[in-house]
Amino acid sequence: MRDKALSLLGLMRRARAIEAGEANTGSAVHGGKAKLLLLASDASENARKRAETFAYGRRVIMVPLPFTKEELAESLGTGSCAMAAVTDLGFAAKLTELLAQMEPEKYAAAAEEVARRRDKAARRKESTAQERNKRTGKRRTNGWV
């Protein structure tokens, strides 16, 4: 599971669904794009406080990872990286699901919350598509012009 989670982080980087580093993470959170805020296990106290400040009052879930800064940076293909922000709900749900399989008591609540948000967004997207089709749908004709 550990290797799957790390390779998923690399996949997110290639899909541009994750922002790595403190500055990029901060701008993603403040811009409202971040869905999940990841923090390395050996992040400094200063980095933890900044991450908490980023997340304070925002709709982002902060998750401390079981990976070190080096492991996180290696999987993301960057230099030293203490925090990252996942910007896609599907990837966030899959990552928290993998983390919950590794350590259920620590990550189960976060996995349930992210899955709930993903499902709610999918329902909202579906209903807005139906409404748009009703408003701008093609008119059916009976063959006579």
Q: Mind listing the pLDDT tens digit for each residue in 101-124?
A: 999 999 999 999 999 999 999 888
Task: Quickly list DSSP for 86-127.
Answer: E--HHHHHHHHHHHHHH-HHHHHHHHHHHHHHHHHHHHHHHH
What's the pLDDT tens digit per position in 34-73?
999 999 999 999 999 999 999 998 889 999 999 999 999 9
Give the pLDDT of residue 136.
72
Q: Which pLDDT score is estimated for 142?
A: 62
The overall average pLDDT reported for the chain is: 88
Host H or E run for residue 63: strand 61-64
Across-strand partners of 85? 19, 37
Element (H, E) at 3: helix 2-14
